[in-house]
Amino acid sequence: MLGFSTLGADTPAPERARFWAQLPRTAALSDGLLRPADQRLRGEFGISQDDVAWEARWSGGDGPDGWVLAFHDDVPMAAVRRAVEARVGPLAGAVVDDARHLATSAQPPAPAESWGADPALVGLTGNEAVSTYVERGCTPFDTVFGAGMEEQLAAAPAAALHGLDELEAWSIALGTELATVQLGEARKDAFDRMRLAEVMPPTRPEFGLVLARGVADPESGRLGYVLSDPPAAARLTRERHLPFTVCPS
């Protein structure tokens, strides 16, 4: 998820240009879904990427990948609908919800079937952040560290890996200086997961150089890190190279 709430139709051009110039140096997981079509949207429909309050994307599961855009309350949704009908960029084939100021890549699921209806997942979100990533389940070892690396583990790291509790879902909120991980409440393995990067094969980029000075709270299931390299943290997240999410194969 990427928040653009600081931008709007009245944002001065120099401030808007400064925002987009700085974006690659942040922990943003997206560079703006509508930006490739921004010029046409602005010229023909009077809307732009700046009118997006936040965007979210999803992938995996049984259905296709998708996205949702939330527009500011003062954005005329009729203009968004016209852009959809004109099949402009990623808006081609989108579904518009005028009442909620949303555009989605496809018909959204029934409210009861969405992740927003799952209290366990809702409880993992809500921290103010540049970007937030949420996932169900743990991440396979080969995905995090590379194929074949688990078989090469020494006895101590292997024991640490197999001593981890199951992980049903987790989230990471990437801010400007800090990253907050939520694993769910009452995590006896919180410290073990926080320290896992120290005894496992290195990731690329190296986890400890990107997210540093980890802390853990088993009661809340939260981990905290200092963001030493925000863009690299976003890359680790996108590529699913986060050691604290791992599970043995």
Q: Are residues 70 and 39 in the same domain?
A: yes
Q: Are residues 84 and 122 in the same domain?
A: no
pLDDT computed for residue 180 by the predictor: 98
Least confident window among 109-113, 133-137, 230-234: 109-113
Mean of the pLDDT values across residues 64-70? 90
> Which tokens sit at 157?
């790291």
pLDDT band at 19 (very low <50, low <70, confident <90, very high): confident
* Model confidence at 15: pLDDT above 70: yes
Domain end among 78, 108, 138:
108
Q: Are residues 79 and 136 in the same domain?
A: no
Q: Are residues 123 and 240 in the same domain?
A: yes
Q: How far separated are the first and last CA of the chain, in Å rounded?
A: 29
Domains held by the chain: number: 2
pTM of the model: 0.90
Supply angle C-alpha 204, 4, 115, rounded to 5: 70
> What integer best gives the mean pLDDT of the chain?
91
47 contacts 75 by C-beta, under 8 angstroms: yes
Q: Are residues 30 and 75 in the same domain?
A: yes
Supply angle C-alpha 48, 77, 95, rounded to 5: 95
The pLDDT tens digits of the residues spanning 160-207 come to: 999 999 999 999 999 999 999 999 999 999 999 999 999 999 999 999
Q: Are residues 124 and 211 in the same domain?
A: yes
* Model confidence at 106: pLDDT above 90: no
| 126 vs 146, residue with greater confidence | 146
Give the pairing type, strands 222-227 and 211-217.
Answer: antiparallel
Q: Are residues 179 and 74 in the same domain?
A: no
Q: Are residues 91 and 6 in the same domain?
A: yes
Q: Are residues 74 and 137 in the same domain?
A: no
Domain end among 90, 108, 126:
108
pLDDT computed for residue 1 by the predictor: 45
Residue numbers of the domain that contains 140? 116-247
Q: Are residues 102 and 136 in the same domain?
A: no
Q: Are residues 44 and 68 in the same domain?
A: yes
Rounded alpha-carbon distances, angstroms, from residue 110 to 61, 69, 103, 114, 115: 16, 17, 15, 7, 10
The pLDDT tens digits of the residues spanning 80-99 come to: 999 999 999 999 999 999 99
Domain end among 58, 82, 108:
108
Q: Are residues 138 and 95 in the same domain?
A: no
